[in-house]
Amino acid sequence: MITSVLTYLDNAAKQYPEKIALVELEKKITYADMAQSAKVIATNLLDKAGSGRRPIVVLMDKSMEAVISFWGILYSGNIYVPMDANAPMERINKIVDFVQPEAVIIDEGFEDKIDELHVEKEIVFRYETLTEGMADEDELNKIKREIIDTDPAYIICTSGSTGIPKGVVISHRAIIDFTEEASEVMEFTDQEVFANQAPFYFDASVPDLYCTVRNGATLHILPASMYRFPIQLLEYIKEHEVNAIYWVPSALILVANLRALPEVDVTCLKKIMFCGEVMPVKQLNMWRKYVPDAMYVNYYGPSETTYASTYYIIDREFSKDEALPIGKPALNTGVLVLNDEDKAAGVGEIGELCIKGSGVALGYYNNPEKTAEVFAQNPLNKMYHEIIYRTGDLVKWNERGELEYVCRKDFQIKHQGYRIELGEIEHGAMSISGMKRVCCLYHDKRQQIVLIYEGDADKADVKEVLKTKVPEYMVPEIIHRLDVMPMNANGKIDRVLLKEQYGK
């Protein structure tokens, strides 16, 4: 039985010692060298920070060195906390204040900001200094034997409604369960070549990091700047024969919208997986047209459930008016759809998606009140303690026994006496010709529905077409067209910014 994700790297270093594990443009590292470098980092961390399941922050650009640092922290028996090194210092310090790290690892790019960081300088270490010396194999083996599968492995920091980020604590077991099923269902082998898209402080990078190592595959770490040039991006994929990607839909949408797919043949891609937001059928169909033989998988899952809780392997054609299912529960995962009375919703009835199983996070770090609020007792079970995670996402079961995502619970509004899902309006708008991205908000003071979109569609036409898609009371009173939709650091539409500008 695997009780630690360290087993993955140990096995890969033994079975594929000379195989390239990571590629970052001109840099490469083998599995043997990656494992050895991580163990040296771990040994130095034991001397400087100790071992005690304590958080260690990584403030580095997306790089090979950042990945090695994660593994080094895990070998030391501690918890890695990946952070956006380019975020405003105010946000960085909010995270540092509640995490209270035992150590901070930086690269040279962050060195001039150390004085602004809310920690003692003595616990801030340059990556290069941690790679000096030898690994203490005996001590590291002792620590590894003491790790149990419910111990924390990482903390991902997500936005908080109070302005203070939340630290989602994920265990070794949660990562193992996801990685094992993904590897089995997607039939990953050592021949996979992955291309990383998501930043490492975003949980969409979890399958890149762990499915790669578990299977002795190769991961290409691509700079964020490459995703601004879709043709260059696809040319890289073609040149390096990348055959598997875990991307957020926004990245796939961008490539489709900028018409890069007809320009570059990327039929080398055999597995295209996406998660993090709704994937519009229109852009999905563009991908399926130009890369027809790939397996397409729609994952669903918040950070609190280790990347993905459900998945749907696309097995039929969809029109742009249809919703793409989020499918069925993953391995060792249970799903409940609860109505407003906390009872099981029937087929076609909208309810909140709640998740149970080993993939559920251990809670929010240093935040017991918020943890108790959303990691709650299963209301359908009165007999024993059983925790579920209340996602805040509204879904429904369709006639095929598949889950369909509707919208966020907080996207549900009451307007003119009607309960309205703003996601339904967005879905209708996305089916309009010329539409690229849409966001629907509710203007609280004016009590009006606001539609914001990026695309070539005429505003007057949008309203007229929507009248054929949704009831009259759901047609937006205000419509804004933007040249470019604002996106947040995770590659999703920046709804907070749009709410500030158009919804207050």
Across 198-202, average pLDDT: 92
Residue 129 and residue 119: Cα distance in Å, rounded?
19
CB atoms within 10 A of CB 316: 7
Segments of 360-447 assigned E as strands: 363-364, 375-377, 387-397, 403-408, 412-415, 418-421, 435-443
Q: Is the pLDDT of residue 387 over 80?
A: yes
pLDDT in tens, 65-76: 999 999 999 999
Record the pTM. Answer: 0.87
Task: Write the pLDDT tens digit of every residue in 280-289.
Answer: 899 999 999 9
Q: Mean of the pLDDT values across residues 345-350?
A: 95
Residue range 370-384, pLDDT digits in tens:
999 999 999 999 999
Does the structure show a pLDDT above 80 at 23?
A: yes
Exposure pattern of 189-207 as b/e (b: 16+ CB <10 Å)?
Answer: eeebbbbbbbbbbbbbbbb
CA dihedral 149, 352, 329, 167 (to 10 degrees): -30
Class of residue 162 by CB neighbours under 10 A (exposed 0-12, middle 13-18, buried 19+): exposed
Give the model confidence (pLDDT) of 467-479 as tens digits.
888 878 789 999 9
CA distance 434 to 456: 5
Residue type (1 letter), 466? L
Question: What is the residue whose two structure tokens read 């001397």?
Answer: 47
What are the chain's domains?
6-222 (3.40.50.12780), 333-407 (2.30.38.10), 416-502 (3.30.300.30)
pLDDT at residue 417, rounded to an integer:
67
Distance CA 422, CA 411 (A): 6
Indicate whether 83 pLDDT > 70.
yes
Q: Where are the beta strands (DSSP E) in 136-288?
A: 152-158, 166-171, 193-196, 218-221, 244-247, 271-274
- pLDDT greater than 80 at residue 3: yes
Q: H or E stretch including 304?
A: none
